[in-house]
């Protein structure tokens, strides 16, 4: 029996419990043992939920706990809890891009010192296994460019605007369907995409890019007329995060995407991440960028990797990095061209 804990019983945390339960047979076949969610930490009450605790010390002081899934989001108390777990030799798997961007390097170094791991596959691209692919299968490639549709909410809104909604109506529809927060600023102003492209740029460059360095414009100024004009030119408008390794430029902006481009058909809440390697050429990864089960599946994939490597640190690419120097973006276009 391998024991794990979940920190935060929100959408993703609940999804982790569900993935572990529903795919237990497959997980057991990989690890040779059952995986059990021994604790769920939340300060809220959830009648009927077993193993609910509200004190992180119960978890980190239980030597049976091998991995915690940090699915709380935000910096506080996620940072303290993650740090505490790692200092106790317990690996942390997270979907929390805000924390990875702000404190990922520090937490990764704490993990390395304590022979455990800090993994964050679910923080970028939801269920798409992009980070492990960059870290392993493509580690020997020189990645010159990453271009990604990284925010499902914005992509859903832009897709809806193609069929006649204006921005506000499309946003309301996204909110009504649970694809956008009541306060949608982090999504529609591009900050969420900026965090994700900063994480991707860091992994492929080996230099620390942070969210604050990203030149960032969101989709709030995009009108339905802009989209109709784009369609007349056999294109559409997508919010892209883009990293150009050669120019050391990193930005988030609405872009015209032509109808023959690999990202053109990435619609609704899907994400698409296009990377260009010097030997591989273009490779794209496409999948659900958000949502309970896809994101939780990515967390579980990290959990399995940590359990397979228990007692060892899995280098994650965030250790011992120098800060990146960024070339400023000097032009200011409402919608850029690829």
Binding mask of the shown chain, residues 110 to 139, with x at each position contacting a copy of itself by CB under 8 A: -----------x-----xxx--xx--xxxx
Distance CA 266, CA 229 (A): 19
Closest distance to a copy of itself from the beta carbon of 2 (Å): 13
* 151 vs 205 by CB, closer to a copy of itself: 205
Among 54, 221, 265, 320, binds a copy of itself (CB under 8 A): 265
Distance CA 212, CA 214 (A): 6
> What angle is formed at CA 233 by the lines to CA 263 and CA 266, rounded to 5 degrees?
15
299 interacts with a copy of itself by CB under 8 A? no
Stretch that binds a copy of itself, among 1-9, 185-193, 222-230, 276-284 (CB under 8 A): 276-284
262 interacts with a copy of itself by CB under 8 A? yes
234 interacts with a copy of itself by CB under 8 A? no
Distance CA 199, CA 209 (A): 7
Where does residue 75 rank: exposed (0-12), middle (13-18), buried (19+ CB within 10 A)? middle
* Closest residue by Cα to residue 109 from 93, 86, 81: 86
312 interacts with a copy of itself by CB under 8 A? no
148 interacts with a copy of itself by CB under 8 A? no
Question: Looking only at residues 156 through 195 of this chain, which bind a copy of itself when binding is defined by CB under 8 A?
Answer: none
How many Cβ atoms from other residues are within 10 Å of residue 68's Cβ? Answer: 28
Question: Looking only at residues 38 through 57 of this chain, which bind a copy of itself when binding is defined by CB under 8 A?
Answer: none
38, 48 Cβ separation under 8 angstroms: no
Stretch that binds a copy of itself, among 38-46, 149-157, 234-242, 270-278 (CB under 8 A): 270-278
- Among 38, 66, 160, 196, which one carries the catalytic annotation? 196
How many Cβ atoms from other residues are within 10 Å of residue 176's Cβ? Answer: 9
232 is catalytic: no
Structure-derived torsion over alpha carbons of residues 39, 41, 45, 48, reported in degrees to the nearest 10: -20
Number of residues binding to a copy of itself, judged by CB under 8 A:
50
Distance CA 285, CA 2 (A): 31
Closest distance to a copy of itself from the beta carbon of 173 (Å): 18
Closest distance to a copy of itself from the beta carbon of 235 (Å): 13
305 interacts with a copy of itself by CB under 8 A? yes
* 104 vs 127 by CB, closer to a copy of itself: 127
Binding mask of the shown chain, residues 63 to 82, with x at each position contacting a copy of itself by CB under 8 A: --------------------
281 interacts with a copy of itself by CB under 8 A? yes
284 interacts with a copy of itself by CB under 8 A? yes
**Residues tagged active-site:** 196
Q: Write out the residues near a copy of itself by the rule CB under 8 A.
A: 19, 22-23, 26-27, 30, 121, 127-129, 132-133, 136-142, 259-262, 264-267, 270, 277-288, 291, 293-294, 296-298, 300-301, 304-305
């Amino acid at each position: 029996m391998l024991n794990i804990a979940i920190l935060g019983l929100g959408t993703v945390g609940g999804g982790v419990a569900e993935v572990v339960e529903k795919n237990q047979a497959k997980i057991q076949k990989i690890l040779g043992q059952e995986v059990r969610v021994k604790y769920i930490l939340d300060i809220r009450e959830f009648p009927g939920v077993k193993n609910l605790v509200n004190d992180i010390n119960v978890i980190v002081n239980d030597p049976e706990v091998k991995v915690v899934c940090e699915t709380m989001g935000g910096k506080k108390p996620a940072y303290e809890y993650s740090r505490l777990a790692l200092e106790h030799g317990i690996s942390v798997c997270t979907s929390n891009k805000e924390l990875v961007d702000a404190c990922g390097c520090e937490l990764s170094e704490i993990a390395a010192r304590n022979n455990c791991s800090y993994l964050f596959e679910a923080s970028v691209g939801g269920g798409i296994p992009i980070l492990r692919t960059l870290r392993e299968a493509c580690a020997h490639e020189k990645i010159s460019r990453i271009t990604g549709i990284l925010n499902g909410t914005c992509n859903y809104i832009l897709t809806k605007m193609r069929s006649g909604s204006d921005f506000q109506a499309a946003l309301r529809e996204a909110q009504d369907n649970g694809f956008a927060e009541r306060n949608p600023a982090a999504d529609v102003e591009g900050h969420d995409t900026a965090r994700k492209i900063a994480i991707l740029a860091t992994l492929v460059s080996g230099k620390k890019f942070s969210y604050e360095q990203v030149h960032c414009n969101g989709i709030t100024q995009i009108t339905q007329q802009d989209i109709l004009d784009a369609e007349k030119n056999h294109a559409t408008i997508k919010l892209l995060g883009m990293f150009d390794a050669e120019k050391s430029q990193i930005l988030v902006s609405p872009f015209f995407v032509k109808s023959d481009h690999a990202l053109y058909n990435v619609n609704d809440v899907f994400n698409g991440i296009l990377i260009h390697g010097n030997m591989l050429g273009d490779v794209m990864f496409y999948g659900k960028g958000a949502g309970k089960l896809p994101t939780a599946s990515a967390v579980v994939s990290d959990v399995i990797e940590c359990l397979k490597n228990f007692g060892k640190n899995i280098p994650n690419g965030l250790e011992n990095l120098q800060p990146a120097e960024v070339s400023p973006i000097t032009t200011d276009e409402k919608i850029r061209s690829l």
